Structure 1
Amino acid sequence: MWVMLIFHFSSEPYQKQTIIPFLHQHFNEDTVRRLLPDVTVHYLHSAISAKSDPFGFIEFVFRKSAHMFVYGVFAIVVYIALYPLRLKLPYSMLASLIIVAGIASLDEWNQLFTGGRTSTIRDVGVDVSGGMLFLLIFILLSKWARYIKSKNVKKSALL
């Protein structure tokens, strides 16, 4: 189901997804420009400057963050789906990230055929980074929750 959502969004043309018209409608560009730090991101063959193009910068950060979120959640879903196989932790993480990389690659290939979209291996890196980050956070939180639960069980056994 999550993969279908990914491919649905990657099949939409850029013009349908851009948030720049929304930003122009609801925010004053000069005010936003003053609030943003003087940061420029070099991505592919362009420089995205927060000061010279604040809405373009916000959209860039928003889109890359959305990629990281979507693929982060996907990595967790895959990891949980692999749990019944009882793979050791490094192998289940690696398998999850390989599947994320495969779907991200297919997603970029799909974008080759979508109007106004660019397809780049760098975006696969962003997607896999999101998967890795979310997976690490999920695993650490899971281990911490088990630790807290085991401490509570030991305390209740003493009472």
Structure 2
Amino acid sequence: MKFVAKSKHVKNGNIYIGVAIVVMVVLFISSSQTYEQQSQLSLLEKLLKNEPFKARLSQISFSYAGSPVSIKESGYFSFVEFFIRKGAHFGTYFILGGSWFLGLQPRIKNMGLTALVSWLAATGYAGLDEFHQMLTGGRTPLFQDVMLDSMGALTAIVICLVVMLIKRVRKGS
């Protein structure tokens, strides 16, 4: 495939829609796994056996979905894994929201409408993903995770909007 052909797929948004679909498939597969199947505790115990930053991290304590989150409450490795899991929520939906925006923008043309549709698609999928987790044994669906996912998607969409607006202003100058 020539460079020109790749550029065409980027311009018409097909590559981004492809990325969005791949992310959705990965999320569906991930939601089909139990907590134990996804657990990275043994890996974290090997990689972080000296428990770096434990003293500093021990000072952090808060509530998420009505449950306390702290090293005292869940232990060092579970505490670290909590942040990895929530970072994965935010990050995957960041990619999903941005991909939908970049994939739909050439088709919808109106940036505001593209942003809204992209955000609703990502947020809707987050809700369906949590529902899917409810059907999977050993998983707990959380409304808070839908909100975290939604914020990840919204962050990417806002960044896309800002970059596109900056490009328009520079082109007009």
Common topology (TM > 0.5): yes
Residue 56 of structure 1 is matched in structure 2 by 78
CA distances 1:102-122 after superposition (whole Å, capped 9, x unpaired)? 111110011012222110221
List gaps (5 residues or longer) in structure 2: 1-21
Match of 1:104 in 2: 126
Cα displacement string for residues 6-40 of structure 1 (whole angstroms, at most 9, x for unaligned residues): 10111111111112111112223554422425111
Contact map agreement 2:60 2:70 (CA 8 A) in 1: yes
TM-score normalized by the length of structure 1: 0.83
TM-score (norm: length of structure 2):
0.77
Q: Which amino acid aligns with 1:49?
A: S
**Other structure's SS at 2:68 match:** strand
Contact residue 105 and residue 111 of structure 2 kept, 8 A:
no
* Aligned equivalents of 1:102, 1:93: Cα separation in 2: 14
Question: Per-residue CA shift, 1:63-115, capped at 9, x if unaligned?
Answer: 11111111111111111221133342222111111111111111001101222
In the TM superposition, 1:64-79 aligns within 5 A as 64-79=86-101
Partner of 2:103: 81
Identity %: 27
Matches of 2:27 and 2:168 in 1, distance apart?
32
The equivalent residue for 1:21 is: 42
Q: Which moved more, 1:41-50 or 1:96-105?
A: 41-50
**Partner-residue secondary structure (3-state), 1:112:** helix
In 2, the alpha carbon distance for the partners of 1:37 and 1:88 equals 47
**Alpha-carbon separation, structure 2, partners of 1:132 and 1:120:** 19
2:152 aligned residue (130, 133, 136): 130
Distance 1:143 1:51, change over 3 A: farther
Which ranges of structure 1 fall in alignment gaps of 5 or more residues?
155-159
Rounded to whole Å, the distance in 1 between the matches of 2:26 and 2:79 is 25
- State the aligned residue count: 151
CA RMSD of aligned residues (A): 2.2
Matched position secondary structure for 1:12 = coil
For the 8 Å contact 1:29–1:54, the answer to whether it is kept is: no
Q: CA deviation at 1:141?
A: 2.9
Cα distance in structure 2, aligned partners of 1:123 and 1:146: 35
CA distance in 1, matches of 2:30, 2:145: 14
